[in-house]
Structure 1
Amino acid sequence: MLRRQIRERKEYLYRKAQEEKQRATEVRKQKVRSALETNAPLPTDLKKDALSIQKLLDTDTPGIDPLETHEDDEYRWAGVEDPNVYITTGHDASSKLKEFAKELRLVFPNSQRVNRGKTGVKELANICRANNVTDLVIIHEHRGIPNAMEICHMPYGPTAFFSLSNVVMRHDIPDVGPMSEVFPHLVFHNFSSKLGNRVKSILKYLFPVPKEESQRVVTFFNDDDFISFRQHTWSKGENKADDPVLTEIGPRFEMQIYKIVLGTIEHENIADVEWRLHNFVRTANKRKLLTNPEDEDQNDKQT
């Protein structure tokens, strides 16, 4: 089993290494295509390879993007099979963190809460692979207050790191409704940049596809790169003309993404860092990375 995992990991890394070559080829093809369409002279650096690039253009299928990325390989079964999520905590978890883990188990359908004990990260990842787990969620705390969440997609990654704040448990929410365990509809707001769509995919594929008649809604609302999590159920009014009535069922918290690693949780220190948040720059408080692509590009230059 270990040899199989090593081979699959090497194949995945090889496919990922080919992306830059494919991306460079696509850029050159696009330059030749635009020159042919506008009847403009070819760029100097492409004149030698223009004929071979034009042959590649003839083989392209219209309307299909020939560039495949590692993201296509990561979530190739999304929507086909329901996710299987494991939720656990750091070592020596407090009673409040364990309670928060129990509530997260109700948030994510088809999830299980696992007692961490003294199990190491590497052993935990192997347990997930052996049980066909699609995602591993690890929550951490500071002095009994949940303050961080790690979402690791199995078996290759990515692993997303979030900070948590303003965590409110279900029993602390006034007039909280009864918990529903049906598959929820998802609402994402203000995730328009490339990074925003990446974070949206990581969160979206934790949930299975809901039925149309489902009356449970999970909302991820982005405001200045802080993602507010809310969960409601809705019911119809007495009259058909009445608006639906929303009832919050909790919990509620805020999330902020600060790192994405191209690998699983046990390879955090050796895997490539896809994206990292840089707060200590002059314009950090003005940027909106999940919404504005230009701000995202400026952050990438700091990496």
Structure 2
Amino acid sequence: MGGDNNKRKRSESEGGGEEPPPEKKMEILPSMIKNKEKRSAVHAKLKQQKKLEKRKKAKARDAAEKRALELGEEPPAKKIPKTIENTREVDETICKPDDEELFAGNDADEFSSILKREMNPKILITTCRFHSSRGPEFIKELLSVIPNATYYKRGTYDLKKIVEYANKKDFTSLIVVHTNRREPDALLIIGLPSGPTAHFKLSKLVLRKDIKSLFPQEPNFRGRRVVTFHNQRDFIFFRHHRYIFEEKEAKQIESKGKKTKDANGESGPKGKVIARLQECGPRFTLKLISLQHGTFDTKGGEYEWVHKVLDLTFTNQFILYIGVISFCS
């Protein structure tokens, strides 16, 4: 037994045993190179290689489609690029368009009459008792954004009295702009006649005059503007844009001294119509602080939820309501 072990050890030492696995070459990344010039050169080389591979794959794909068309076969299926939307995991809590429970809940919603277009929104906008110079400027721009809105000075009236007055005048919503240290910092939106009441924190306000633009400040927005309420991470980002159409001359391609011609046999540059957005303002950010059942009542009011116990269902519900009183024309 000892002799067999010695023979086995001798044969392994002479190369008769198993060969060790080959070592893998370590890939050198541009970020691992300390020298700036060498790092830039390696990065440019890798970028060029990726570009050539992409072009090679595109040519092979076009050739396969052309070959399939010549043979009367179906071209190969196009690969769908991976995006955030098609790779998102299915969430069972997301409501679907054909959800019967969702439509049944809409009938009992506080804004069902507006969502069903049984009544037109009528908005009353006012301020807190002590407002600053930027408060009226902000309200003036809100009046240009929200249709069928009216501004009333607060004066010394109590907010409950204003709610009663708004109900008598058939207003559907009351918006109170609160200011602090000469800056609007909150919005109180009260649904009439029976609530709910939402308290939003307002931040990062930029008025229209502060947004630099090459266009006049009083353009004709008829049919050319859009108001956006974007909900992301419990914040509502408000943006006001107008879209414009421009016609640009397309570059004329010439091959071997011959000018290209269009379908009518005429040569010359072709116009290309493009659309782009121009921000008009105001611009601000909202964060929902509380949602109160019924109209405004600080003492005996019932809160459906408050800050740090946020339910996105109510946020999305109020965004939908705000989207109804705004417009996209």
TM-score by length of 1: 0.57
CA gap 1:181/1:76 in 2 versus in 1, 3 angstroms = farther
Say yes or no: does 1:150 pair with 2:185.
no
Mapped contact 1:179–1:249 kept (Cα < 8 A): no
Equivalents in 2 of 1:178, 1:76: separation in Å?
Answer: 36
Equivalents in 2 of 1:256, 1:83: separation in Å?
Answer: 23
Q: Which 5+ residue runs of structure 2 have no aligned equivalent?
A: 1-98, 249-270, 316-329
Q: 1:191-213 CA distances to partner (integer Å, 9 max, x unpaired)?
A: xxxxxxxxxxxxxxxxxxxxxxx
Say yes or no: does 1:219 pair with 2:219.
no
Shift of 1:269: 3.1
- Residue number among 245, 253, 263 corresponding to 1:236 in the alignment: 245
- Partner letter of residue 126 of structure 2? T
State which structure, 1 or 2, has the greater radius of gyration over its C-alpha atoms.
2
- Partner letter of residue 87 of structure 1? I
CA gap 1:269/1:69 in 2 versus in 1, 3 angstroms = farther
Q: Which 5+ residue runs of structure 1 have no aligned equivalent?
A: 1-62, 184-213, 280-287, 294-303
TM-score by length of 2: 0.52
CA RMSD in angstroms, aligned pairs only: 2.9
Shift of 1:156: 0.6
Equivalents in 2 of 1:244, 1:118: separation in Å?
Answer: 48
The aligned residue for residue 279 of structure 2 is: 248
SS at match of 1:264: coil
Equivalenced residue count is 192
The aligned residue for residue 112 of structure 2 is: 75
The aligned residue for residue 304 of structure 2 is: 274
SS at match of 1:125: helix
CA gap 1:64/1:156 in 2 versus in 1, 3 angstroms = same
Say yes or no: does 1:164 pair with 2:202.
yes
Q: 1:70-127 CA distances to partner (integer Å, 9 max, x unpaired)?
A: 8524432333332110111000211111211111111211101110000111110011
The aligned residue for residue 41 of structure 1 is: none
- Partner letter of residue 207 of structure 2? M
Mapped contact 1:225–1:289 kept (Cα < 8 A): no
Equivalents in 1 of 2:107, 2:293: separation in Å?
Answer: 9
Q: 1:34-56 CA distances to partner (integer Å, 9 max, x unpaired)?
A: xxxxxxxxxxxxxxxxxxxxxxx
CA gap 1:181/1:142 in 2 versus in 1, 3 angstroms = farther
